[in-house]
């Protein structure tokens, strides 16, 4: 059974999808051991605690200090896989190198489109709508030192509908793509990790 850490910054809807998948028996090769936020008071921490999962914040502005402290917590718990679920801090190259091919992220667009610095949350959906795209979706990828540049592990398309707002598109992509892909890839990787 692989040991999973989930890193979060906000409400934790993708974390909830992982918890629900674990409870339904869809994630059986790994177990969420800890949830760490870079923001005090992130609602995701409440979701984790409600599910009986250890959860706390490491609120540091410096990326170096943040990554050092998170790394120490992960080593303490012998974490095998790190899942970024709405984690908005940029990880240092040293941190990423230490966990090569063991950190995944969910991105709310079809990478390589609408990825990189500044493309997160509603910013992505606003850009998709402004460009007149007919299709968007979600991508699960390995995390590398280049933001949203790691190997793509899974993608799922979601139609952009007439009259969509950034908020309605975000909700549909979460429901039809993110909440399906992230648990599936998490289970697949837990099976593969030696």
Mind listing the pLDDT tens digit for each residue in 127-148?
999 999 999 999 999 999 988 9
- State the CATH number of the domain containing residue 11: 3.40.50.170
pTM: 0.96
Cα(32)–Cα(181) distance, rounded to whole angstroms? 17
What are the catalytic residues? 107
* Domain with 22 in it: 2-192
Domain count, the chain: 1
Residue in 85, 63, 72 with CA at minimum distance from that of residue 143 = 85
Q: How confident is the model at residue 117 (pLDDT cuts 50, 70, 90)?
A: confident
Cα(82)–Cα(52) distance, rounded to whole angstroms? 19
Mind listing the pLDDT tens digit for each residue in 42-90?
999 999 999 999 999 999 999 999 999 999 999 999 999 999 999 999 9
């Amino acid at each position: 059974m692989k040991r999973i850490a989930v890193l979060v910054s906000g409400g934790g809807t993708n974390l909830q999808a992982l918890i629900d998948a674990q409870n339904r028996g869809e994630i059986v090769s790994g177990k969420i051991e800890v949830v760490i936020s870079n923001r005090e008071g992130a609602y995701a921490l409440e979701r984790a605690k409600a599910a009986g999962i250890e959860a706390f914040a490491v609120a540091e502005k410096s990326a170096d200090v943040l990554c050092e402290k998170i790394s120490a917590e992960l080593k303490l718990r012998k974490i095998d896989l790190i899942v970024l679920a709405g984690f908005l801090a940029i990880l240092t190259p040293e941190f990423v190198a230490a966990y090569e091919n063991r950190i995944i992220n969910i991105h709310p667009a079809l990478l390589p489109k609408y990825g990189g610095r500044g493309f997160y949350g509603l910013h992505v959906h606003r850009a998709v709508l402004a460009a007149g795209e007919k299709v968007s979706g979600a991508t699960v990828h390995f995390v590398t030192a280049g933001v949203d540049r790691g190997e793509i592990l899974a993608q799922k398309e979601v139609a952009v509908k007439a009259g969509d707002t950034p908020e309605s598109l975000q909700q549909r992509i979460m429901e039809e793509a993110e909440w399906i892909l992230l648990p599936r890839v998490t289970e697949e990787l837990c099976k593969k990790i030696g």
